[in-house]
Amino acid sequence: MTNVERVRRHFSLDSSCPSCGYSIEDVDHVLRHCPLAYSIWENHIKPTVFNDFMNFPIKAWIVRNLTHANLFTDSPEDWDILFGALLWNIWLTRNAIEFESTVELTGLVVERSDDRREAGRRTILWHLRDLCHRNWVLRPTLIPREINMVADGIAKLALRDTIEETYYSVPPPSIQPLLIVDTGG
């Protein structure tokens, strides 16, 4: 929660930014105008639109960046993922300064965000988005779990295990009988 919000809820009397000391620490300040954030955007945003980027209403700013990557950056590929990761890491860094008294360098925020973009590329949603952008005619069809036992079984395995991503080169033992059921129609 930003310090402006904490003051509004009577949790605190101090609305200033823990990072730079500016008197009003609201969302706009943390994510865009605080020197930590500002220097990151300066390095990622096209100079010709930088002024617009810094002055869009905050909600429209987030939506535009997630949906119109080429408006603000010369490297629009996966900008939505990198933008989200930069916001998240700016917020984490702000919290570290506020609660742990540790100061993190801007370079680390960017490095960590690039890692997150790389991780984002490996997620199933990213692959689905990639598939949807190919020149195919897609007709999404709901297949009830009762006639797709393998998918249902793998989903249950995922719920049981806490591992984030798993690749199977051979079907897990518990899935093998379900494969036979599915192939039988």
- Closer CB to Zn ion, residue 18 or residue 153? 18
Euclidean distance between CA atoms 66 and 56, whole angstroms? 14
Among 5, 12, 22, 96, binds Zn ion (CB under 5 A): 22
- Closer CB to Zn ion, residue 17 or residue 81? 17
Euclidean distance between CA atoms 62 and 75, whole angstroms? 17
Among 2, 19, 65, 106, binds Zn ion (CB under 5 A): 19
- φ/ψ bin of 101: left (φ > 0), alpha (ψ from -120 to 50), beta (otherwise): left
H helices of the chain, in order, are: 3-8, 27-28, 35-44, 50-55, 58-67, 79-95, 106-121, 124-132, 149-160, 176-183
Shortest Cβ distance from residue 5 to Zn ion (Å)? 15
- Closer CB to Zn ion, residue 20 or residue 71? 20
* Binding segment (CB under 5 A) for Zn ion, from list 33-41, 47-55, 70-78, 116-124: 33-41
* Binding segment (CB under 5 A) for Zn ion, from list 28-36, 68-76, 100-108, 165-173: 28-36
Query: ∠ at Cα 176 (143, 126), nearest 5°?
Result: 50
Report the interface residues with Zn ion, using CB under 5 A. Answer: 17, 19-20, 22, 34
